[in-house]
């Protein structure tokens, strides 16, 4: 079952490094503004977007496989149809604790695979909203 409890969401939000798949270089887009908010609140944000060279003055990676840094949370700003492939990349890594799907993004089957691997799965929740509600 996807994470729903405030206690577990707060636990996830106590981590430091967030890889944002679909992170946008375009101000005003949720995929830019939400990672920007998280950066402003002390999180290390790693942009993953094959169509951007950099976001927030940081190199944007083409895929999760290219990210050398340790990742705690993978935050997804891509359509639900793409989640399964992103989860495939997550399962190739040992460091990711949580896969977080933003509002409107759902994939129960991919979520079950995440949970079967011993990791946490959040879907259809906004990282910024939950941070503001539980942490800020």
Residue 1 belongs to some domain of the structure: no
Q: Which domain CATH number covers 81?
A: 3.40.50.720
- Tens-binned pLDDT, residue by residue, of the chain (136 aa): 899 999 999 999 999 999 999 999 999 999 999 999 999 999 999 999 999 999 999 999 999 999 999 999 999 999 999 999 999 999 999 999 999 999 999 999 999 999 999 999 999 999 999 999 999 8
Beta strands in 57-128 (DSSP E): 58-59, 73-76, 98-101, 120-122
**Rounded to whole angstroms, what are the CA distances from 58 to 5, 23, 36, 62?**
33, 11, 12, 13
**In total, how many domains does the chain have?**
1
Residue 91 belongs to some domain of the structure: yes
> What is the per-residue pLDDT for 136?
84
List the domain range (segments joined by +) for residue 85: 6-134
Helices (H), the chain: 6-12, 30-40, 83-91, 108-116, 127-134
As beta bridge partners, residue 101 has 76
Name which of 83, 86, 121, 116 is nearest 100 in CA terms: 121
Residue 108 belongs to some domain of the structure: yes
Residue 19 belongs to some domain of the structure: yes
**Rounded CA separation 45/58 (Å):** 9
Residue 119 belongs to some domain of the structure: yes
Name which of 63, 77, 74, 75 is nearest 31 in CA terms: 77
């Amino acid at each position: 079952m996807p994470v729903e409890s405030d206690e577990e969401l707060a636990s996830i939000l106590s981590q430091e490094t967030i890889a944002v798949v679909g992170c946008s270089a375009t101000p005003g887009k949720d995929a830019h503004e939400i990672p920007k908010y998280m950066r402003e609140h002390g999180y290390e944000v790693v942009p993953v977007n094959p169509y951007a060279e950099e976001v927030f003055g940081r190199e944007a990676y083409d895929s999760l496989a290219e990210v050398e840094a340790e990742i705690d949370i993978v935050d997804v700003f891509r359509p639900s149809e793409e989640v399964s492939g992103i989860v495939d990349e997550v399962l190739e890594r040992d460091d990711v604790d949580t896969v977080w799907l933003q509002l409107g993004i759902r994939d129960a089957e991919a979520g079950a695979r995440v949970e079967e691997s011993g990791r946490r799965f959040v879907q259809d929740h906004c990282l910024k909203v939950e941070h503001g509600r539980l942490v800020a």
